[in-house]
Chain A
Amino acid sequence: MIAELGHFLLILAFCVAVLQSGLTIAGLRANDPAIFGFARAGALAQFGLILVSFGCLTWLFAVSDFSVLVVADNSHTDKPFLYKLTGVWGNHEGSMLLWCLILTAYTAVLAYAGKAVAPKLITLTFAVQSAITAAFTAFLLFTSNPFARLWPAPLNGNDLNPLLQDPGLASHPPMLYAGYVGFSITFSFAVAALIEGRVDARWARIVRPWALAAWTFLTIGIALGASWAYYELGWGGWWAWDPVENASLMPWLAGTAFIHSLRVMEKRDTLKAWTVLLALMSFSLSLVGTFLVRSGIITSVHAFAVDPERGVFILLILLVLIGGALFLFGLRAATLKPTGVFSPVSRESSLLINNIVFSVACAVVLFGTFYPLFVTTVSDETLTIGAPFYNAVFNPLMGALFVLVPISGLIAWKRGKLDRIWQTLWPALAASAAALVIAFWLADREKLAGALGTGLAVWVGVGVLLDLKSRIKLFEIDFSASMARARNLPLGIWGMIVAHLGLAVAIIAITGVSAWKHETRAFMAEGDSVALGGYVITLTEVNQAREANYIAEIGRFEASRNGEVVTDIMSESRFYPVRGMGTTEAGIVGRIQGDLYVTIGERVEGRGWPVHIYIYPLAIWLWIGSVILALGGLLSILDRGRRSLGRNPAKTPVTTAPEAAE
């Protein structure tokens, strides 16, 4: 009964979405003001319907109703209650329903937050947004009904894959989807503006908080995904250039370029075509990501059920949405005339370089993801593109771009002066050179990449702090006056500074984790010790444990340094009888200078337990850096100037605002 209710509500939501996009277009033609009111109500109705429908599916998982196919396939009565609930999106059907829920939730928020936006623009935006909802609810209803019944109902379910029973994974899809889907709003705004034929600084001001929100969620989502790979998969890595990981990276790259480009458009009314194109690209790449995961065109650890029929359906959606939007862009791009002019040495130029490099990086990832498939399709040859390719192409590209970070924050709009930048930034260059030499000399001389990464991180970090210092005139004027200036800096500027500091932290962490990691493997019996990277690690004891849905062997390790015990590490190997599957719960002790990462396997008679020990220098800073990055995004969203969403038309964006470089 509950399942049928959920199914019925989903059908209703589909009908409302179809009606809304159709009626809106008709209403705009007739220029009927009643349609504006309907658009808002329709947006709320879609959200309400899908919310209750999602509630129904959650209920079915909570009570373990195995007469419903997805519940029987993905749940089990012995599963902890929390993971029964997160199991709702641990499968194809449920996760697509979550996708639709988040999509309509964004539309509903827009119905409230977008009241100040010009009626025609917002109504068109709702129409595009509803078309997306219609397409994806149709996808659910016709190819992936989450409420399909199973008869006879089995006595118990097939359990959820134990690899997926992890807090990281439970929270990872909602965050990632909130990022992917968030770009739908900016996509819809871009299409609406192209239809209307008005793309200006005001438009950029309206769109910016949405782009930032999507970007922030996507940043958190990607970081959670990386931490899932690191903590749960136990293979000792956080990024594998797996196609599905790449699928989340591509919209992030496009989205990062997009938020920078929006800034230029908002302030200077230029780079319009770029900005609109990036708005379209961010969401298009999100959709391509969805296509990748759902169609089974690529086999991957993340892939859900492989089903070409679903792939065809999503491909059709892609063709209509992306193809339509890019066609419209082609028709209208010529009308996107910039009004601001700028010299080669200016913030506009530096942000244009940002756009170009991020787009090229995005193309590199796209190429790396699809080229191997392309080769296997057209010939019998095989090739793999893995970390070496990205290390050789992607990393230098990004590294070169990051050199510009502190400069672009300081350089003036329109026409900048290089000597002033030099005056502010030379200490950063000196610090960076010193850090590079020290890292080269101290850490590991063979690893030039490590030294370069350290130098880059110091350059970005110190440079950004110097930027802040010059903005608040620290040590140049009275300290309290500086603090007053700091308080008066717009939140958008704080957001930029914080995000760029987060970037510096992330660069140093990535450098540490990839260039300076140590590892060793050994068979250990109770009492055995292994030395690695200055630590002596002893296996003190191994105990058995029995939990509700798995049995485990827990190894207790002791790590000591210079004869003193520093920490205990617990590492588990678990066996889930229902699926007959084992998992590794790596024992990880996160310390400021690095992580100790220990995995233990199944005991071998006469030899002991196979133990794999890694030392990841600075690993914890990867997560801290990601949080700081996301915090920067959040601060920028909260910027007051942006919250007033053009409610104050007198505030024209083309004039120089107080935050322009002094």
Chain B
Amino acid sequence: MSRFLVFAPLALFLALAGYFAVGLREDPTDIPSQLIDAPLPEFDLPPIQGFDEGLSSADLAGEVVLLNYFGSWCPPCLVEHPMLMQIARSGEVPIYGIDWRDPPGAGTAWLQRHGNPYTRIGDDASGRLAIEFGITGAPETFVIDRQGRVRYRHVGVITQDVWRETLRPMIEALREE
């Protein structure tokens, strides 16, 4: 029996390595979204505590915008945050935020502590809309065109490189359309 058992660690490791190899090819930040080129799901979210305006799908129509899923509980969102602040300050594209699964007040406190890059913010406390968007984790960002269609989805932190090489060129191209 032990003749086979002693190879069990090797077999386990190879299974893990095989999974790594697949995982590497399927870059986790490049998950195809069923929403690509489809119209946004209809939604009308309430505001987060301390804000007057919520966010509905109608707010996003008419111009090219970024829609960013975040949460105060999410460390990578904090890493991404300065980049969003930089984009917001530059005024290149409006950023709309959806606060995902935060207890009341937590998102507000987070924005107050670190600054608010969002034009408007909706509260998705139950996470129901996140399911329609197929969110796999925060942060996630969608590029939405003038017609209100989702054109691109970025999973994970928007770094300088992602902004420079992917998002900004894409936004410029969509404005030309």
Q: Does A297 reach chain B (CB closer than 8 Å)? A: yes
Q: Give the A interface residue count (CB, 8 A).
A: 59
A-facing mask of B1-36, CB < 8 A → 1, else 0?
011001101100110110111111111110100100
Residues of B near A301 (CB, < 8 A) are 75-76, 78-79
Measured in the bound complex, the distance between the Cα atoms of B31 and A233 in whole Å is 29
| A376 in contact with B76 given A291-B20, A299-B137, A329-B9 (CB within 8 Å) | no
| A581 in contact with B109 given A308-B24, A329-B9 (CB within 8 Å) | no
Q: Does A612 reach chain B (CB closer than 8 Å)? A: yes
By secondary structure, the B interface counts as: helix
Measured in the bound complex, the distance between the Cα atoms of B21 and A297 in whole Å is 10
B-facing mask of A367-398, CB < 8 A → 1, else 0?
00010011011001010100000000000000
Among residues 562 to 581 in chain A, which have CB atoms less than 8 Å away from a CB atom of chain B? Answer: 573, 579-581
Residues of B near A8 (CB, < 8 A) are none
Q: Does B39 reach chain A (CB closer than 8 Å)? A: no
Q: Does A326 reach chain B (CB closer than 8 Å)? A: yes
Q: Does A334 reach chain B (CB closer than 8 Å)? A: yes
| Residues B109 and A521 in contact, CB atoms below 8 Å apart | yes
| Residues B134 and A380 in contact, CB atoms below 8 Å apart | yes
Measured in the bound complex, the distance between the Cα atoms of B38 and A479 in whole Å is 83
A-B contact count (CB 8 A): 134
| Residues B109 and A315 in contact, CB atoms below 8 Å apart | no
Measured in the bound complex, the distance between the Cα atoms of B9 and A250 in whole Å is 15
| A580 in contact with B10 given A242-B75, A301-B75 (CB within 8 Å) | no
| Residues B13 and A323 in contact, CB atoms below 8 Å apart | yes
| Residues B75 and A233 in contact, CB atoms below 8 Å apart | yes
| A602 in contact with B112 given A242-B75, A326-B9, A329-B9 (CB within 8 Å) | yes
| Residues B114 and A299 in contact, CB atoms below 8 Å apart | no
| A299 in contact with B29 given A306-B156, A312-B24, A382-B137 (CB within 8 Å) | yes
Interface residue from B23, B115, B160 paired with A377 (Cβ < 8 Å): B23
| Residue of A with least CB distance to B135 | A382
| Residues A334 and B29 in contact, CB atoms below 8 Å apart | no
Among residues 112 to 169 in chain B, which have CB atoms less than 8 Å away from a CB atom of chain A? Answer: 112-115, 134-137, 155-157, 159-161
| Residue of A with least CB distance to B22 | A377
Q: Does A311 reach chain B (CB closer than 8 Å)? A: yes
Q: Does A319 reach chain B (CB closer than 8 Å)? A: yes
| Residues A581 and B21 in contact, CB atoms below 8 Å apart | no
| Residue of A with least CB distance to B86 | A580
| Residues A300 and B23 in contact, CB atoms below 8 Å apart | no
Q: Does B82 reach chain A (CB closer than 8 Å)? A: yes
| Residues B6 and A330 in contact, CB atoms below 8 Å apart | yes
Residues of B near A587 (CB, < 8 A) are none
Measured in the bound complex, the distance between the Cα atoms of B7 and A329 in whole Å is 8
Measured in the bound complex, the distance between the Cα atoms of B108 and A263 in whole Å is 54
Q: Does B85 reach chain A (CB closer than 8 Å)? A: yes
**Closest-CB distance, B122 to chain A (whole angstroms):** 20
Measured in the bound complex, the distance between the Cα atoms of B19 and A370 in whole Å is 10
Among residues 279 to 303 in chain A, which have CB atoms less than 8 Å away from a CB atom of chain B? Answer: 280-281, 284, 288, 291, 295-301
Residues of A near B2 (CB, < 8 A) are 333-334
| Residues A382 and B136 in contact, CB atoms below 8 Å apart | yes
Q: Does B41 reach chain A (CB closer than 8 Å)? A: no
Q: Does A441 reach chain B (CB closer than 8 Å)? A: no
| Residues B21 and A580 in contact, CB atoms below 8 Å apart | no
Residues of B near A308 (CB, < 8 A) are 24-25, 27
Measured in the bound complex, the distance between the Cα atoms of B49 and A604 in whole Å is 13
Residues of B near A589 (CB, < 8 A) are none
| Residue of A with least CB distance to B109 | A610
| Residues A315 and B21 in contact, CB atoms below 8 Å apart | yes
Interface residue from A277, A299, A581 paired with B155 (Cβ < 8 Å): A299
| Residues A273 and B23 in contact, CB atoms below 8 Å apart | no
Residues of B near A296 (CB, < 8 A) are 27-29
Residues of B near A370 (CB, < 8 A) are 16, 19
B-facing mask of A614-644, CB < 8 A → 1, else 0?
0000000000000000000000000000000
B-facing mask of A142-169, CB < 8 A → 1, else 0?
0000000000000000100101000000
Measured in the bound complex, the distance between the Cα atoms of B135 and A280 in whole Å is 38
Residues of A near B29 (CB, < 8 A) are 296, 299, 306
Q: Which of B34, B75, B159 has most A Cβ within 10 Å?
A: B75
Interface residue from A295, A382, A521 paired with B105 (Cβ < 8 Å): A521
Q: Does A275 reach chain B (CB closer than 8 Å)? A: no
Q: Does A327 reach chain B (CB closer than 8 Å)? A: yes
| Residue of B with least CB distance to A599 | B113
Q: Does B89 reach chain A (CB closer than 8 Å)? A: yes
| Residues A297 and B10 in contact, CB atoms below 8 Å apart | no
| Residue of B with least CB distance to A576 | B82
| Residue of A with least CB distance to B9 | A326
Measured in the bound complex, the distance between the Cα atoms of B146 and A206 in whole Å is 69
Interface residue from A284, A334, A580 paired with B85 (Cβ < 8 Å): A580
Measured in the bound complex, the distance between the Cα atoms of B134 and A374 in whole Å is 16
Q: Does A342 reach chain B (CB closer than 8 Å)? A: no
Q: Does A493 reach chain B (CB closer than 8 Å)? A: no
Measured in the bound complex, the distance between the Cα atoms of B76 and A301 in whole Å is 5
Measured in the bound complex, the distance between the Cα atoms of B13 and A277 in whole Å is 13
Interface residue from B13, B25, B75, B137 paired with A384 (Cβ < 8 Å): B137
| Residues B24 and A295 in contact, CB atoms below 8 Å apart | yes
Measured in the bound complex, the distance between the Cα atoms of B83 and A579 in whole Å is 8
Q: Does A235 reach chain B (CB closer than 8 Å)? A: yes
Q: Which of B27, B113, B135, B156 has most A Cβ within 10 Å?
A: B113
Q: Does A265 reach chain B (CB closer than 8 Å)? A: no
Interface residue from B31, B79, B81 paired with A376 (Cβ < 8 Å): B31
Residues of A near B25 (CB, < 8 A) are 308
| Residues A284 and B75 in contact, CB atoms below 8 Å apart | no
Q: Does A318 reach chain B (CB closer than 8 Å)? A: yes
| Residue of B with least CB distance to A382 | B136
Q: Does A114 reach chain B (CB closer than 8 Å)? A: no
| Residues A297 and B28 in contact, CB atoms below 8 Å apart | yes
| Residues B17 and A323 in contact, CB atoms below 8 Å apart | yes
| Residue of A with least CB distance to B81 | A581
Q: Does A341 reach chain B (CB closer than 8 Å)? A: no
| Residue of B with least CB distance to A328 | B10
| Residue of B with least CB distance to A281 | B9
**Closest-CB distance, B174 to chain A (whole angstroms):** 24
| A333 in contact with B6 given A315-B17, A315-B21 (CB within 8 Å) | yes
| A323 in contact with B156 given A297-B24, A581-B81 (CB within 8 Å) | no
For the complex of A and B, list the 6 residue pairs with the smallest distance between their C-beta atoms, beginning with the closest. Answer: A601-B113, A301-B75, A581-B82, A333-B6, A326-B10, A330-B7
A-B contact pairs, 6 of them (CB 8 A): A297-B28, A301-B75, A301-B79, A315-B20, A334-B3, A380-B134
A: which residues have CB within 8 A of B? 158, 161, 163, 233, 235, 240, 242, 273, 277, 280-281, 284, 288, 291, 295-301, 305-306, 308, 311-312, 315, 318-319, 322-323, 326-327, 329-330, 333-334, 370, 373-374, 376-377, 380, 382, 384, 521, 573, 579-582, 584, 599-602, 604, 610, 612
